[in-house]
């Protein structure tokens, strides 16, 4: 999702205590199905920001409801500068980290995956990250915190863009090496490419060359690609290009995955709550299910307590996508 200034203020957060639930993941074609749980990355120009005003944390009750619907993977966007402020090699802000710990513990305690997602677009304090060693140091610090939790997934960084393709490859490899070096050897790692990690230009952008060379001694790399269905693929419109655009936009990436023996997830996707978009999403997910040797799952963008009437909100109980789109996607959960 391409946005620079996410919400800077919102309504108060519910204090209700969630009732624990068990994961009810259906026996489908995918290993990972779920949503991005926004909130902790909001107010990204207000650093470090104030909890409850600039940013918030996902709601336990909403996550429980989505688990009951069959979802088993929850991507938790955070800000790199909030958990490790001032410098990449710095120390943890324990106040912010406690909020992440709480959500990770809650999600994984239900048997679901918690994806730790530094939602920074390859930037730190709005500057492109070129310090490869520093980026690795940041990941060493964060990965150590969750090294013993096999239900945690590490997402290297959200949507690198307008960067050198080779640098993006180097940053991803540094993250992989740091995570494994921190003792986190059982977890999956989601890696993201350049050009907003878009599936539809995975090869044409050139990002596939460096990304295809990534190595992991645990062989648990999952390539995270994003795919929206509006005219410019930015995920900023309720209108989808056609009822078949989803399948069409990931066909080239599918061929690359098969040719290179890689596995992937669509880590962000969404469409408007209208018939054409629903058909487009269904078509894409069916194509992925038909090619589940390389496509391991999908995550909807997005959920979170501050989305209000956002066109793609899948936040229970009244999010637009929760009420109008999700009922049409149950076969793919």
Q: Which residues are catalytic?
A: 159, 268
Residue 125 is encoded by which pair of tokens? 């304090």
Closest CA to 13 of 94, 103, 75, 93: 103
Return d(Cα 159, Cα 195) in angstroms, integer.
7
Return d(Cα 331, Cα 219) in angstroms, integer.
29
CB 304 within 8 A of CB 40: no
E strands present in 24-110: 32-37, 73-78
CB 277 within 8 A of CB 240: yes
Return d(Cα 182, Cα 277) in angstroms, integer.
42
CB 214 within 8 A of CB 221: yes
Q: What is the chain's length?
A: 333
- Between the alpha carbon of residue 272 and those of residues 97, 230, 257, 276, 305, the distances in Å are 34, 9, 28, 8, 19
- Between the alpha carbon of residue 288 and those of residues 116, 136, 244, 270, 296, the distances in Å are 24, 32, 13, 15, 8
- What 3-state class would DSSP assign to 308? coil
CB 79 within 8 A of CB 119: yes
């Amino acid at each position: 999702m391409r946005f620079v200034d996410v919400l800077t203020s919102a309504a108060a957060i519910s204090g209700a205590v969630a009732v624990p639930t068990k994961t009810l993941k259906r026996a489908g074609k995918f290993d990972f199905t779920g949503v991005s749980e926004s909130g902790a990355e909001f107010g990204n120009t207000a650093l470090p920001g104030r909890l409850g005003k600039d940013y918030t944390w996902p709601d336990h009750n909403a996550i429980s409801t989505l688990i009951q619907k069959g979802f088993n993977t929850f991507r938790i966007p955070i800000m790199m500068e909030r958990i490790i402020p001032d410098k990449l090699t710095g120390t943890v802000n324990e106040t912010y980290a406690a909020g992440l710990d709480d959500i990770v513990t809650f999600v994984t305690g239900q048997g679901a995956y918690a994806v730790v997602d530094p939602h920074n677009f390859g930037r730190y304090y709005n500057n492109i990250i070129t310090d490869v060693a520093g980026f690795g140091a940041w990941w060493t610090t964060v990965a150590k915190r969750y090294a013993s939790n096999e239900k945690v997934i590490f997402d290297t960084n959200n949507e690198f863009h307008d960067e050198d393709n080779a640098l993006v490859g180097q940053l991803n490899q540094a993250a992989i090496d740091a995570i494994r070096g921190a003792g986190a050897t059982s977890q999956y790692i989601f890696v993201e490419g350049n050009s907003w990690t878009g599936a539809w230009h995975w090869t044409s952008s050139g990002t596939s060359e460096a990304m295809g060379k990534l190595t992991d001694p645990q062989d648990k790399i999952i390539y995270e690609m994003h795919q929206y269905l509006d005219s410019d693929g930015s995920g900023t419109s309720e209108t989808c290009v056609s009822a078949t655009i989803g399948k069409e936009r990931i066909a080239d990436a599918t061929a690359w995955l098969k040719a290179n023996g890689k596995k992937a997830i669509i880590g962000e996707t969404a469409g408007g709550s209208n018939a054409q978009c629903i058909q487009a999403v269904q078509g894409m997910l069916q194509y992925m299910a038909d090619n589940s040797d390389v496509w391991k799952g999908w995550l909807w963008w997005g959920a979170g307590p501050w989305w209000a009437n956002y066109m793609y909100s899948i936040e229970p109980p009244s999010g637009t996508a929760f009420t109008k789109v999700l009922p049409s996607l149950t076969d793919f959960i």
